[in-house]
Amino acid sequence: MSEAFLKNPLGLFDIKGKVAIITGASGAFGALSAKVLAGAGAHVVLAASKQDELEKVAAECEALGAKAHIVALRPSSEDNCEKIVKAAVDTFGRLDILVVASGLNKVAKIVDQKPEDFLDVMDANVTQSWLMARAAGKQMLKQGEGGKVILTSSARGLLGHPAGYSAYCASKSAVDGITKALGCEWGDTGITVNALGPTVFRSPLTAWMYEDTERAQTVRRGFLARVPKGRLGEPADLAGPLLFLASKASDFYTGHILYADGGYTAG
Residue 4 has a pLDDT of 84
Question: 186-190: long-range contacts at Cβ-Cβ below 8 A with a sequence spacing of 24 or more?
Answer: 186/137, 186/141, 186/254, 187/254, 187/255, 189/140, 189/141, 189/146, 190/144, 190/145, 190/146, 190/147, 190/251
User: pLDDT, tens digit, for every residue of 122-173?
Assistant: 999 999 999 999 999 999 999 999 999 999 999 989 988 878 999 999 999 9
The mean per-residue pLDDT over the stretch 234-254 comes to 96
Nearest 5°: the CA angle 237, 238, 241 is 110
User: pLDDT, tens digit, for every residue of 190-204?
Assistant: 999 999 999 888 888
155 close to 197: Cβ distance less than 8 angstroms:
yes
C-alpha 75/C-alpha 135 separation (Å) is 10
Burial class (CB within 10 angstroms; exposed 0-12, middle 13-18, buried 19+) of 104: middle
For the chain, which residues make up each domain, given as ranges? 13-198+235-260, 206-232
Was domain 13-198+235-260 assigned CATH 3.30.870.10?
Answer: no
Round to the nearest angstrom and report the end-to-end CA distance of the chain. Answer: 38
Active site residue 165: no
Q: Among the options 168, 210, 253, 259, which is catalytic?
A: 168
95 close to 70: Cβ distance less than 8 angstroms:
no
- In the predicted model, is pLDDT for residue 116 greater than 90? yes
- In the predicted model, is pLDDT for residue 1 greater than 90? no
The mean per-residue pLDDT over the stretch 219-234 comes to 92
Residue 117 has a pLDDT of 97
